[in-house]
Amino acid sequence: MIKKLFSQMIVTQIVSAMTVTICMLIDIIMIGRFLGVPSMSAYGYATPVLLVFAAVGSMISAGIQVMCGQTMGVGDKKGTYACYTISVIAAAAVSVAGTAAVVIFTDPICTLLGAGEPSPHNEIFVLTKDYLRGFIIGAPAFIMAQIMVPYMQMSGSRARLIVAVIAMTVGDVAFDILNVKVFHWGTFGMGLASSLSYYIAGIIGIVYFFKKDCIFKFRLNLFSFKRCLVLFRDGIPTLVNQISLVFLTLSLNLLLRHTGGAVAVAAYSVISTVGNLCYSFSTGIAAVALTLSTILFVDSDRSGLKQLVDTMVFYSITICLAVTVVVEFAAVPLISLFTEDADAGRIAVKGLRLFVISLVPCALNTSFKNYYQGINHVRHTMLISVFQNFLFTIVSAFIMSRFLGVTGVWLGFFSGETLTFIFISIYATVHNKKSEFGLMAYSLLDSDFGISDEDVFEASVVCAEDIITASQDASEFCKKKGIGSKVRMLISLCIEEMSNNIVKHGFKGRKDHNIDIKVMIRNGSPTLRIRDNCDKFDPVKYVKMQNEEDAVAHIGIRMVMKLVKEANYVNSLGLNNLTLKL
In a domain, 209, yes or no: yes
Give the residue, 224 or 438, on which the prediction is more confident. Answer: 224
Q: Encode pLDDT of 68-118 as tens digits.
A: 877 876 677 888 889 999 999 999 999 999 999 999 999 999 998 888 888
pLDDT at 453 over 80: no
pLDDT tier, 35 (very low <50, low <70, confident <90, very high otherwise): confident
376 with 424, same domain: the answer is: yes
In a domain, 81, yes or no: no
In angstroms, rounded to a whole number, what is the distance separating the alpha carbons of residues 204 and 496?
Answer: 41
The mean per-residue pLDDT over the stretch 274-300 comes to 85
pLDDT at 43 over 90: no
Give me the pLDDT at residue 538, please: 79
CA gyration radius, the chain: 26
Helix axes 77-104, 139-154, angle to 10 degrees: 160
Residues found in the chain:
582
315 with 383, same domain: the answer is: yes
302 with 408, same domain: the answer is: yes
The mean per-residue pLDDT over the stretch 395-416 comes to 92
Give me the pLDDT at residue 387, please: 93
The mean per-residue pLDDT over the stretch 393-397 comes to 93
pLDDT at 548 over 60: no
Give me the pLDDT at residue 79, please: 87
With beta carbons less than 8 A apart as the criterion, state whether 80 and 72 touch.
yes
* Domain carrying residue 509: 453-581
Mean pLDDT over all residues of the chain?
A: 85
317 with 351, same domain: the answer is: yes
Q: Encode pLDDT of 249-283 as tens digits.
A: 888 888 988 888 878 888 887 888 788 888 889 98
423 with 487, same domain: the answer is: no
Q: Return the minimum-mean-pLDDT range out of 54-58, 137-141, 510-514, 517-521.
A: 510-514
The mean per-residue pLDDT over the stretch 450-462 comes to 83
In a domain, 48, yes or no: no
Q: Encode pLDDT of 220-241 as tens digits.
A: 898 888 888 888 887 888 778 8
Collapse the DSSP code of 520 into the 3-class scheme (helix H, G, I; strand E, B; otherwise coil) and give the result.
strand
The structure's pTM equals 0.75
Q: In whole angstroms, what separates CA 112 from the centre of its chain? A: 30
436 with 296, same domain: the answer is: yes
Q: Encode pLDDT of 499-509 as tens digits.
A: 888 888 888 76
Give me the pLDDT at residue 1, please: 67
Smallest CA-to-CA distance from 142 within 92, 87, 105, 179 is with 92
In a domain, 75, yes or no: no
523-539 core/surface letters (b: 16 or more CB in 10 A; e: else)? eeebbbbbbbbbeebeb
Q: Which residue, of 429, 448, 467, is where some domain finishes? A: 448
The mean per-residue pLDDT over the stretch 405-412 comes to 91
Q: Which amino acid is at 18?
A: M
Give the residue, 158 or 43, on which the prediction is more confident. Answer: 43
Q: How many domains does the chain have?
A: 3
304 with 443, same domain: the answer is: yes
Collapse the DSSP code of 436 into the 3-class scheme (helix H, G, I; strand E, B; otherwise coil) and give the result.
coil
386 with 444, same domain: the answer is: yes
Q: Which residue, of 216, 240, 268, is where some domain finishes? A: 216
Q: Which residue, of 216, 237, 266, is where some domain finishes? A: 216
Q: What percent of the chain shows pLDDT beyond 70?
A: 95
159 with 120, same domain: the answer is: yes
In a domain, 226, yes or no: no
Torsion of CA 128, 133, 135, 140, to 10 degrees: 140
pLDDT at 544 over 80: no
Smallest CA-to-CA distance from 440 within 453, 459, 457 is with 453
To which H or E segment does residue 286 belong?
helix 262-298
- The angle formed by the CA atoms of residues 445, 451 and 454, to the nearest 5 degrees, is 110
Q: Encode pLDDT of 322-366 as tens digits.
A: 999 999 999 988 888 777 777 778 888 999 999 999 999 999 999
In a domain, 386, yes or no: yes
Q: Which amino acid is at 59?
A: M
pLDDT at 142 over 90: no
In a domain, 414, yes or no: yes
pLDDT at 243 over 60: yes
pLDDT at 17 over 70: yes
pLDDT at 393 over 90: yes
CATH, residue 543: 3.30.565.10
129 with 187, same domain: the answer is: yes
314 with 328, same domain: the answer is: yes
Give the residue, 432 or 389, on which the prediction is more confident. Answer: 389
410 with 457, same domain: the answer is: no
In a domain, 14, yes or no: no
Smallest CA-to-CA distance from 560 within 536, 545, 543 is with 543
pLDDT at 552 over 60: no
Quote the DSSP letter at residue 179.
I
Give me the pLDDT at residue 364, please: 95
